[in-house]
Each structure stands twice: as C-alpha cells, then as structure tokens.
Amino acid sequence: MAVNTSIGHGSTFARGNADGPPETYTDIGEVISISGPSLSRDVVDATHMGSTEKWREFIAGLKDGGEVTIECNFDPDGTDVTNWLSDINTDSERTYEITFPDTTAWLFEGIMTALEVSDPLDDKMTATATYKVTGKPTFIS
C-alpha cells in the first residue's frame, strides 16, 4: 500500500503585514519546525437527575484553535527579532499563515504569547515563538 505523506521540508511560516486587503505576508527565516494549530473542543456535563442508569451525558461546548509554535534558527541581527518584539508587545491579534510543500495552508489570527531564545555554548542559537489562535483557523486546500 502506498503511503500518502511527506516530510515538512519546504513548509513556511509567515507573518501578515496588516497591509490588506489583500494582505501580504513575510516569511519567518530558517524555520526548523512548526506545530499546531492544536484544535480542541470543550465538553459540557449535561447530566441530570433523570439521566439513564446514572450515566453522565455531555453536550458539545466551545471550540478552541489552540496554539501554534515555531522553532527556528536565531539571528540576533535579523528582522524576525524586530517583528517578534513588536508582536509580543502589542495587545492586538495579527494574521499568520502556515504553508505546506503541497501549497495547502492554515491561516489564522493569533496573539504572540511567548518568545524563548536558546544560546548554547556549542550549538546553534534557536528561537521558539508561540502564538495563541483566536477565532476559527482556516484550512486552505
């Protein structure tokens, strides 16, 4: 049986320039990995005194777009640092886009919630940026 998957090489993570519509995007440089969005849904306990044979009953609750985390090579002199500092210091959301090698994509509004830089003695410097998805992310096929 053939496998219908591929490696992530060629995927990109881009930051919206807030210049639209249509909005243009600037790629974050040297991305190593992208995780998310991590979609989930709450469940609400709807059990009541007459629930059949004392079994709990649930209804669907609110949905959550989760988080997106990227890890990339860190260039302290690069423009990514300026953009990250702007994003972590603003209270408003921004549009971001994850594009896969086959050109499908996730498009989402997000708020940057974390930036962590790693500067090891004997390895490359990296940065990890985390974004909280706000609202419904869109999958573009």
92-122 pLDDT tens trace = 999 999 999 999 999 999 999 999 999 999 9
The pLDDT value given to residue 1: 81
Q: Considering the domain 12-140, what is its CATH architecture? A: Irregular (4.10)
Full-model pTM: 0.91
Give residue-wise pLDDT tens across range 72-98: 999 999 999 999 999 999 999 999 999
* Nearest in space to 13 (alpha carbons), one of 83, 81, 100: 100
